[in-house]
Amino acid sequence: MSRILLLMLSIVAIIYLNTMGVAMEYNRLTPEEERVIVHRGTERPFTGRFLSHKESGTYTCRRCGAELYRSDDKFDSGCGWPSFDDEIKGAVTRKPDPDGQRVEIVCTACNGHLGHVFKGEGLTDKNTRHCVNSVSLDFVPAASKSTSAAVFAAGCFWGVEHLMKKAPGVISVKSGYIGGHTDNPDYNSVCSGKTGHLEAVEVVFDPSQISFADLTRLFFEIHDFSQTDGQGPDIGEQYKSAIFVADAEQRRVTQEIIKQLREMDYKVATEIREATKFWPAEAYHQNYYEKTGKNPYCHIRKKIFK
């Protein structure tokens, strides 16, 4: 049975259950997600977590989980919201917007608000732009052997994310927490120093374009790896320098680069830790410097390696 037919049957089943009065279980939404998805609101432009997202995979409905868009159909329109020039067949329903001018798009399966669709702008060959709120979406990465991941802690994750994502071959960088002893940490609990988590970034990259060694060298060039109590003015356990290695090869590479630094008379306080569960930080921490237009205050690249 084809993927499209399976999707259509699933949508028909959901619509049927709704019609019959059977209660559907949806994902729990934050107040902001409910404002946009249920009450037809709009998130602020240039703030959404999927605006600059480049990872391969499928974008799904945040409310019900239905598949909506493929990453291959995403493009940069410059409008401030994630843009797609096509949807998965049957997944998105168009309806006249109450403003009498635009065309609203909603998830066919649950009627959750996604955004609006525009035609005739000439931005892509398909001449269509689905302007979608990031909070209306979730993302399922494509299962691929062509990508790898690395986790680095180098003080405030805002600056680390900002500089890491500029490297060629980097697909995505996500700010978050790792290394602690509690589940579902948030910013306030991590800042209390009682969870043991460090602020860190998870870097997804294409190893055919950039290696773990290259990223590790970049990591050392963008922060003060000699500082033991934090990073710059940010003092505390959560701001320590560490690399969370996923396997023996990442550990070997990290140890070799630290050895090189010490042979160059650098003091290295960076810890090597086993990778544990990475907890993504709150949405407002993602793409922080892109949203605010500011520059990192304690992360500046200083060339060390040739």
As annotated, the active-site residues are 131, 156
Q: Give the contacts of 258 (CB within 8 A, at least 6 positions apart).
A: 268, 270, 272
Report how far residue 252's alpha carbon sits from residue 112's, in angstroms, rounded to the nearest whole number.
48
Q: What is the dihedral of CA 295, 160, 191, 29, to 10 degrees?
A: 90
What tokens does 79 get? 């409008």
Q: What's the CA gap between 69 and 84, in Å, rounded?
A: 7
Residue 282 · residue 144 · CB < 8 Å: no
Contact indicator for 254, 261 with CB cutoff of 8 Å? no
Residue with tokens 């050895």: 259
CA distance 224 to 240: 10
DSSP 202-234: EEEE-TTTS-HHHHHHHHHHTS-TT-SSEETTE
Report the alpha-carbon distance of residue 138 to residue 66 in Å, rounded.
Answer: 10
**Pair 82, 105: CB distance under 8 Å:** no
Which is it for strands 83-84 and 92-96: parallel, antiparallel or unpaired? Answer: unpaired
